[in-house]
Structure 1
Amino acid sequence: MSRVDRFVGAITGHTRIAIALMLVATVVLGAGAGMIEQSSSLDQFQSDSPESEKLSYINGNFSTGPNNTTTVQLIVRDDNVLDKESMLGILALEQELRENETIEPTLADNNSVVGIPNIVATAAIQQEVGGDLQRTNAEFQRLNSSVAQERAALENRSQTLNATAKDLQRALAALQQNPDASVEAAFEQVRSNTSVELDEEDFGTFQQAAQGVRNAQNQSQAQQAYQLGTQGVLADQYQSLQQRGADLQEDGERLRELGSELQALNAEFQNASTPTLEEQRAQLESMNESEIDQVLGLLLGESDDSGGSGGSFSAFAFMPTSFEEGSTDAEATMLVVTQVSDSGSTAEATGQSSDAITNSQLAMQDLANENPTEQFSVNDVLVFGSGIIAEETTQSMTDSLAIVGPLALLFVVVALVVAYRDVIDILLGLLGIGAVLVWTFGFMGWAGIAFNQLFVAVPVLLIGLSIDYAIHVFMRHREERTGSTGASTDTVRGSMRVALTGVGIALVWVTATTVIGFLSNLTSPLPPIQEFGVVSAFGITAALLVFGVLIPALKIEIDGFLEGRGWNRKKQAFGTGGGRFSSVLAAGSSAARRAPFVVILVALLISAGGAYGASQVDTSFSQEDFLADDPPEWTYELPEPLKPSDYSAKENLDYVNENFLRQDSQAQILVESDGTSVASAAALERIDTAQTAAADSDVTVVLSNGEVDVRSPLSVMQSVAATNETFNATFAAADTDGDGVPDQNVADVYDALFAVAPDQAAGVIAQNGDGEYEAVRLVVSTKGSASMDAVTEEMRAIAQEVEGDDGGLTATATGQTILFKIVSDQLLETVVQSLIITLVATFLFLMLTYRITEGSATLGAVTLLPVALSVTWILGTMYLLGIPFNILTGMITSLTVGLGVAYSIHLSERFNQELDRTGDLWESMRRAVTGTGGALLGSAATTVGGFGVLAFAILPPLQQFGIITGLTIIYAFLASVLVLPSLLVVWYRYLGPGRSTETGTTTATPAED
């Protein structure tokens, strides 16, 4: 007795023990199902790569503001979003965002909501304050200059008067000593040596003083005479000087008042750059349409002759890319809301969103949908953000399961009703499916594998595959009981033992080959695909155990119990009762009898066409792949538990891509030192070249004013130099040739940049712990509609320009789009590798097992050949239907082999068994095709139905996967019942037991190869 016979005997002989053990295993494994977590982030599909490592370095070493931030884009649409009413409505919307208890905690501290109304109001406030500041400053400068000049004049006048007084004193002294000297001559000498105007009256006073000096009788009289001759002569002049000093003091007081006023206005001007929302609203309300248009003209005006923007560059970033410069009319504008996430990594970089971010963005969406015309005086508000995308992706998974799960079960029930026509057998089949799902999801929980987009297909996959086991076991059991195999076994237990013994080895081989197909995905560099392979392999193994042990044991107990009470449990096997089904199933054997080589040639020609189509199939991995279209109308008529949600993210994403700058669509080029310092003139020259190339690239976003959004150390330095005089002096001094690129003392320029604009500098320049400059980066805003291939190719070419041919610098192009391109390439790698591994492993496995069990290794190769042909058929079909390789369809090649080989194994195994029984080629072929073929048709119908319902899934990759997998099963079934019979006939005649005879009858055993 073989091991298979002993194992089957243990199951059928001790059914209650088998049932108890399987139920305990179900409970233990099922306990893990509650531990499953859910994940919809695309970040989980990224494998380790230099680009992902560099992006992680960028996120950890560069900063442009608060960490862990994400942005939401609100697109406001109206007849004219730039008129006063609409802009006030947008500010009202901003106020609602700030007051909402779900949204407000997530908003960043500064400039959390920015749009054109904020920029216009701020500019208007700054204009008003700036006008007062300019006028006050002009008056201050004029008065300050006047005071300085007057102070200098008074000082000079005082010195002149004092000098003249000394000259007069010396003249009086000379006259005192020389009584005969001429008073007039002495006075004229003084007058000629001074700029002070002295008249006749002054001479009379001087003459009187001279007489007093000459006639003085004592010191007191002499001193009085000297006083009269100096101070008395210049009394008017000193009085005038004193008056001018008093006037100067008044001007000084006024100057101090203007200084205080200027200081207050400067503070007010600084505050005007960040006015409160209330101040912005008040400003707009105080302006008329013409005043608003005037400010808009400055902000969104046409470029000047120098090629620079005549208005604010940032203002154009909020306008559609089709906006006409200088216009004051637009149908749409954008609000950018900056939020702070509580997650451990930057949301923009990882594509993940915390619950708080997701809930807040959903609250924004609800707010925007609550009649914006009445609330905010605008027609429509579109909300686009990572939280909404994550929510819709997760919701599409839930909705897909809610719809396809019941539909899959319904299809299976219908198929089982047709195949079984027995309520108890149908219920046993459904019970088995439930047990397989419990085992599989319990395993996921215990293994810590998160439920992601891929695993929505797992229940359908297992429903379709596991029911195959039941159909084959039950159909073979029925054949044995009714005698359609040539022998009848009266007892339920005996017929089940024969059925399991006969079909069991085929089920083991089927399980093994299917597991090989699933486990071939372990070679994929993408973790979720690896996990999908492991979980699916476990699930199909669980199906073998459940439908090979638990369900047969239950059927024996139930049928035995019912037959013991007079119920007839003998049922006809599907496809064995003659009629139309038998005729259709016999078509393959009939063609094999008439022209096997013609059948094989036709199959090869079709496969050649499929192989050509396979070489043309595209590969795709992008955010758009996971966004659902709005579900069909009929789905909204489903009962509430099955009714899907509304989906708008994909439509909104397309709109933003076509019309606006995507806040999350950026490529980055990391430049690191490889011998040449990043703080060098040579490095800046390379960066300048790269920046120009990025600006000229077709994938770079061009705003409506012709500007491109490219940030680099050079662009940041040029921007800061335009507004900061101190840094401008440093920047200009380092640029000796005047080309706008510093060519000396670059490290000093970087130091100055960090001193005056640390946040902006840290966004493009990275320092190590020692303060050395170790890396810089370029950030390029790319078109959301640009293909991954184009973005990756362009950015890598630009990075190559930075590196140059002489080395010294290492430049790596990275960013989310480039990482998605890498995933796309790895998907293609997965397709090729998994196909080769599955084919080789299955080929070797079947040749070895058939060599051991049937004595013919070539029978294993013949069994696999129809499946290999069907791979080309399905790939050619993908090309004709325009379905690319994505995260699900990328596994179709290994699944085609893993799933399809089951049909061939069942037919080959049954053919060999019947050949041993009858010794007749054609009778064996007829029995195999009509007997096993009937079971294959039933299992194919259930599997196709199960996978076909995925076409109704909300998640797009699931739809494509369902269609392709359903066609895969059809092709595998057709290949097994139409092509495999001809291959078996050729094998029988030339490599098998019939190679030494010319007739179709032999009792020889299979020849050893």
Structure 2
Amino acid sequence: MSRTDRLVGAITDNTRILIAVMLVLTVAFGAGVMNLDQSSSLDQFQSDTEESQKLTYINDNFSTGNQNTTSAQLIVRDDDVLDKETMVDVLELQQEFRRNATINQTLVEQNAIVGIPNIVATAAIRADIGAELQRTNAEFQRLNRTVSEERASLRADGAELERRAATLNATTEELSAALDTLRANPNASVRETFASVRSATPVEFTDEDYATFERAVEQLRSAENRSAAEAAYRLGTRGVLADQFETLQSQRETLQQRQADLREQGEQLQELGAELRSLNADLQNASDPTLDRQLETLQAMNESEVDDTIGLVLGSESGGQAFAFMPNYYQPGDTSVNATMLVVTQTTATEMSAGAASDRLVDSQLAMETVAANADVAADDVIVFGTGKISDEINRSMTDSLAIVGPLALLFVVIALAVAYRDVIDILLGLAGIGVVLTWTFGAMGWLGISFNQIMIAVPVLLIGLSIDYAIHIFMRHREERQNENTPSSVAGAMRVALAGVGIALVWVTATTVIGFLSNLTSPVPPIQDFGIASAVGISAALVVFGLLVPALKIEVDGLLEDRFGWDRRKEAFGTGGGRFSQVLAVGETAARKAPYVVIVAAVLLSAGGAYGASQVDTTFNQEDFLAEDPPDWTKDLPEPFKPGEYDAKANLDYVNENFLRQDSQAQLLVEGDVASAATLEQLQRAQRTAEESDSGVVQVLSNGEADIRGPLSVMEQVAANNETFNATLAAADTDGDGVPDRNVDAVYAELFAVAPDQAAGVIHRTDGGDYEAVRMVISVQGTASMGETTDEMRALADGIEADSELTATATGQTILFDIVSDQLLDTVIESLLITLVAVFAFLMFTYRITEGSALLGAVTLVPVVFSVTWILGTMWLLDIPFNIMTGMITSLTVGLGVAYSIHVSERYNQELERADSMWDAMETTITGTGGALLGSAATTVGGFGVLSFAILPPLQQFGIITGLTIIYAFLASVLVLPSLLVVWTRYVGPDVGESAAEAEAPVGTAAPGAED
């Protein structure tokens, strides 16, 4: 007894123990399902490349604040989105966003929502503040001049009054002295004495003054007492100067009034100064006025004022970032357009990855969509587009795809099995085996830490198809043996012969299929490696389950039904009872009998055409690949939970790509080395000009004709326009006036970090020690530009920066990383195909040399698989299906699945050669027996993969179509081409078996009648 017979006997004799062990293993594996994670991030497809390392460096060392942020884009479409009514509605919509807790909790603190209505309102506010500031400043300057002049005049007039008072006082003293003289000398002349006083003082006296003085002298000379004398003195001094003193007093009162007025003007001047400071502060803060103030300002404006302000911010002579919110077909200066964009900046709890977002972010962007749909907005349509929206649709497309594909796959399998088995018990046993295989596979993924991602959706469908393939071969062979008079007819006895006959083929099939999928381990793309591991584990599980558990269950169930209930469980194998299926399957045998070489040559020619088509197949990997189109109408009639949701992200993405600046479509140039030097800034300026002048259609050009590029130079220019201090520093460092500092670059950087730290940190990396280690340029890329063109142009810019310098420049960014993944996918296709072919070729030649004594039989078995590979690749070219993360595995899958069909045919044919009367008898038994099983398994597998064409996820649709065709090609190659190859092999190097019964019985060296045919 051979080892195979002993192993098979152990299986059939210990079925209950085997079932118990398998159930325990199922529970153990099933526990791992709880550890299975789901991931839709596209970052997981990126390998560890220099570009990915540099992007990580950028994310770690360049920032625009202390929060991780992302942006959502809202596109507002209407006949005229720049009219007052629509812009007011958009601002009110922003208020609704802020009132919504789900949205508001994600918004950044400043400038969270920015669009043309905000810019127009802010410009109007700044214009009003500027006009008021100008008016107030003019009033301040006028009043300041008035106060200054009056203060000087008061000082002069006060001094003059003091001099006048001193003169009057001195004159008073002189008049008093004159009176003393005249009193002491009665004979002295009054006129002469008065004349001497007049000549000694600048005070002008009148005749009335002399007359008053003369009366005073007379009174003094006649005074009899002191009081009379004092009265005479008063009359002769103050009385003479009474008019003068009265005028002086009036002038003093006028001066005091003027001083009081000056104090009031000073207070007014202080108030105007405070108002100026307040207006200046308002103007500075007007870059981010409150939303309420923006709305109030816009509502107060008339249409003419709105148009004037739009002309101010979007005029042909204006610049700035306002044009980043306008469609690329907008003509600067126009006051009407049918679409505009809002940018909503949101915080993220963790770092973002392409195609994936936190639940918080997803919920917020879905809430924006709901609020916009329910708001009373004059615009016809509001589109919400962002990472959260994309992540939601990618995740939903996975879930909805499974909800549709899973039941359809099972339904098709049940129908196919019903046709093939025509027996409820066998159908239930097959479905039970599928459930165990899936449990083992997903449990193993959980224990191994393999995430369930987009391409893993194909794993259950793949395993369902292969599991049924295994089940059909075992069940059909078991049915054949129960009908075979030369084998035991009992359930266990027939299963023992069936397992011994088909078991080896299943082992070889499993080994070669596992080799095919494990060849994906050479791929640099991690999820493809995981797919290879998960598929290999699942296929191995299918062999164990359908090679051990299902046969044991079959023996127990059929034995119970026959022994206890008397049911006859013998069934006819599919394809062995004659009829139309047998006639179809016999085509390959007939062709091999009549013209084997014609068949082989035709296959070779067809494969040559397929090989040419294979060289024309494109490779792609981008976010758009994972976005679903809106599902067909028939899916919307499905009952819950199978009914898919609505999908519009792809259409929205296409619209944004065609008409607007994509916030997430950027390439970056990281420059490292001595970046705080004039030479580095000159290199950056040269690279920026090269990018701006490029006509390749890669760099995003705004509607004002300016390229959207941000780097150290553009940030310096922007900050200098708003900060006089930095403007002076920059001007002092730019001696030739070309906008690029040519000295004291360290000082320019330091001042930039001092006045605008967030903006500086976004383009310059300064270490904790104060050294400037790297700078970067962020270049917006057109959404319609191909990844290859973008990568080539950015790398050319990097090479230009490195030329004639000691700098290191690296082009990176999500688009470039995706292009690298695309290249790696092509490498995966080629490498996995070569590795799979070589490994399977070596395995088959070795195993057939050991088991059958003919290594060449292994090569013959593999040839139809090579044919089917070229056929499927040619079909991909004809159907315009590119290599992507799913279809990129088609070559290894074709070899892995296709070789199974060839092995079954070759193995059965070789077995039948030992007991058949002739080569044709062996071939007929093989084609009608194994061929029938192959037809059944092919039908179920094609159906299983074919239902993927109903998936919501586009790569799954393509994968389902291509894989279904792969199975068809593999089946056709095994039943149409392989028989001719086996005939040629038998005639030249195979066993010494005749081509007819007569020839088999003829003496050696004697040709049987008709042998020459």
Q: TM-score, normalised by structure 1?
A: 0.90
1:382-531 equivalences in 2 (<5 Å)? 382-483=383-484, 487-531=486-530
Q: Which residue of 1 aligns with 2:759?
A: 760
Q: Which moved more, 1:321-330 or 1:859-868?
A: 321-330
Q: CA deviation at 1:236?
A: 9.3
**AA in 2 matched with 1:946:** G
Structure 1's 731 and 499: CA in aligned 2 closer, same or farther, altered over 3 A?
Answer: same
| Greater alpha carbon shift after TM alignment, 947-956 vs 793-802 | 793-802
Q: 1:298 to 1:610 in 2, by over 3 A?
A: same
2:132 is the counterpart of 1:132? yes
Q: What's the CA shift for 1:263?
A: 2.3
Which of 921, 924, 939 is equivalent to 1:923? 921
Cα shift at 1:253: 2.5
Residue aligning to 1:195: none
Alignment partners' CA distance in 2, 1:185 and 1:49: 113
User: Which residue does 2:334 correspond to in 1?
Assistant: 327
Mapping of residues 242-257 of structure 1, within 5 Å? 247-257=261-271
Contact 1:412–1:945 under 8 Å retained in 2: yes
Query: For residue 288 of structure 2, what is the aligned residue in structure 1?
Result: 274
1:683 aligns with 2:675: no
Task: Indicate how the Cα distance of structure 1 residues 853 and 710 shifts in structure 2: closer, same or farther if over 3 A, else same.
Answer: same
SS of structure 1 residue aligned to 2:743:
coil
Equivalent residue of 2:778, what SS?
Answer: strand
**Code of the aligned partner of 1:742:** P
Determine the structure 2 residue equivalent to 1:147. 147
Q: Which residue of 1 aligns with 2:626?
A: 626
Equivalent of residue 312 in structure 2, options 264, 282, 298: 298
C-alpha displacement at 1:163, in angstroms?
A: 9.5
Q: Cα offset for 1:97?
A: 1.0
User: Does 2:361 correspond to 1:364?
Assistant: no
- Contact preservation (8 Å) 2:945, 2:963: yes
Distance, in Å, in 1 between the alignment partners of 2:4 and 2:993 is 30
> What does 1:148-167 align with in structure 2 at a 5 Å threshold?
148-152=148-152
Partner of 2:578: 578
Match for residue 972 of structure 1 among 946, 970, 973: 970
- Secondary structure of 2:655's partner? helix
Q: Is the 8 A contact 1:701 1:782 kept in 2?
A: yes
1:264 aligns with 2:263: no
Tell me the residue number matched to 1:876: 874
Check 1:21–1:173 CA distance in 2 against 1; reply closer, same or farther (3 A cut). Answer: same
> CA shift at 1:31, angstroms?
1.9
Q: Is the 8 A contact 1:994 1:1000 kept in 2?
A: no
Q: Structure 1 stretch 771-780 or stretch 112-121: which is displaced more?
A: 112-121
1:658 counterpart = 2:658: yes
Separation in structure 2 between the aligned mates of residue 498 and residue 258 of structure 1, nearest angstrom: 108
- Deviations for 1:648-676, whole angstroms, at most 9, x for unmatched residues? 11111111111111111111111110xx3
CA distance in 2, matches of 1:784, 1:959: 24
Cα distance in 2 between the residues matched to 1:892 and 1:749? 56
Partner Cα separation in structure 2 for residue 185 and residue 861 of structure 1: 151
| Cα distance in structure 2, aligned partners of 1:437 and 1:948 | 19
Deviation, structure 1 residue 767 = 0.4
Larger Rg: 2
Displacement of 1:162 after TM fit? 8.4
Change (3 A) 1:841 1:190: farther
Distance 1:406 1:1000, change over 3 A: farther
Aligned to 1:856: 854
Return the offset for 1:842: 0.6
- Give TM-score scaled by structure 2 length: 0.90
Q: Deviations over 1:947-983 (max 9, x none)?
A: 0110111100000000000000111111111111111
Match of 2:773 in 1: 774
Instruction: Report the equivalent of 1:903.
Output: 901
Note the 1:774-923 alignment, pairs <5 A.
Answer: 774-803=773-802, 805-918=803-916, 920-923=918-921
2:185 counterpart residue number: none
Q: SS of 1:546's equivalent?
A: helix
Tell me the distance in 2 between the aligned counterparts of 1:49 and 1:185. 113
Cα–Cα, structure 1 residues 1003 and 395, in superposed 2: closer, same or farther, change >3 Å? farther
Q: Distance in 2 between matches of 1:93 and 1:156?
A: 65
Q: Give the 3 Å change call, closer, same or farther, for CA 388–165 of structure 1 in structure 2.
A: same
Letter in 2 for 1:797: A
Q: 1:324 to 1:706 in 2, by over 3 A?
A: same
Paired letter, 2:949: A
Deviation string 1:382-422 (CA, Å, 9 cap, x unpaired) is: 11111111111111111111111111112111221221111
Deviation at 1:245, TM superposition (A): 5.1
Query: 1:251: Cα distance to partner?
Result: 3.1
Aligned to 1:194: none
The one-letter amino acid paired with 2:518 is L
RMSD across aligned positions (CA): 3.6
Q: Deviations over 1:112-135 (max 9, x none)?
A: 222222222222222222221111
Give the distance between the partners of 2:291 and 2:1000, measured in 1 at CA.
95
Residue 681 of structure 2 aligns with an amino acid whose one-letter code is L
Which residue of the partner structure matches residue 216 of structure 1?
Answer: none
Distance 2:416 2:205 in 1: 137
The worse-fitting range, judged by mean Cα deviation, of 870-879 and 568-577 is 568-577
1:317 counterpart SS class: helix
Contact 1:920 1:1002 in 2 (8 A): no
Counterpart secondary structure, 1:687: helix
Displacement of 1:314 in angstroms is 2.5
Confirm or deny that 1:286 pairs with 2:291: no
TM-aligned CA deviation for residue 184 of structure 1: 12
2:1008 matched residue in structure 1? none
Distance of aligned partners of 1:171 and 1:847 in 2 relative to their CA distance in 1, 3 Å threshold: farther
Q: Is the 8 A contact 2:198 2:204 kept in 1?
A: no
Q: Structure 1's 629 and 351: CA in aligned 2 closer, same or farther, altered over 3 A?
A: closer
Tell whether the 8 Å contact from 1:919 to 1:1003 is kept in structure 2 after alignment: no
CA distance in 2, matches of 1:828, 1:201: 121
Note the C-alpha offset of 1:594: 2.1
Give the aligned partner of residue 81 of structure 1: 81
1:247 Cα deviation after fit: 4.9
SS at match of 1:378: coil
Residue type of the partner of 2:685?
A: D
Deviations 1:807-865 (A, max 9, x none): 31111111111111111111111111111111111111111111111111111111111
Per-residue deviation, 1:173: 14
Return the alpha-carbon distance in structure 2 between the equivalents of residues 301 and 421 of structure 1: 77
Q: Residues 913 and 993 of structure 2 are in contact (CA less than 8 Å); yes or no, is this contact kept in structure 1?
A: no
Q: Which residue of 2 aligns with 1:937?
A: 935
Query: Displacement of 1:3 after TM fit?
Result: 2.1
Q: Which region of structure 1 is more displaced relative to structure 2, 447-456 or 270-279?
A: 270-279
User: Following TM superposition, by how much is the alpha carbon of 1:790 offset from its aligned partner in structure 2, in angstroms?
Assistant: 1.3
Number of equivalenced pairs = 972
**1:938-957 map, 5 Å:** 938-957=936-955
1:577 CA drift (Å):
1.7
Question: Which residue of the partner structure matches residue 217 of structure 1?
Answer: none
Are 1:337 and 2:329 an aligned pair?
A: no
| Structure 2 Cα separation of the partners of residues 190 and 1001 of structure 1 | 167
Q: Distance in 2 between matches of 1:494 and 1:585?
A: 28
Shift of 1:751: 1.0
Cα distance in 2, alignment partners of residues 861 and 643 from structure 1: 48
User: Structure 1 residues 101 and 24, CA, compared in 2 at 3 Å: closer, same or farther?
Assistant: same
Q: How many Å apart are 1:70 and its aligned residue? A: 1.4
Question: What code does the residue aligned with 1:61 have?
Answer: N
Alignment-derived partner of residue 557 in structure 2: 558
Cα 1:795–1:738 change in 2 (3 A) is same
Q: Is the 8 A contact 1:782 1:791 kept in 2?
A: yes
- Residue 536 of structure 1 aligns to a residue whose secondary structure is helix
Q: Does structure 1 residue 56 correspond to structure 2 residue 56?
A: yes
SS in 2 for 1:325: coil
What is the aligned counterpart of 2:691 among 691, 694, 699? 694
Equivalents in 2 of 1:589, 1:982: separation in Å?
A: 8
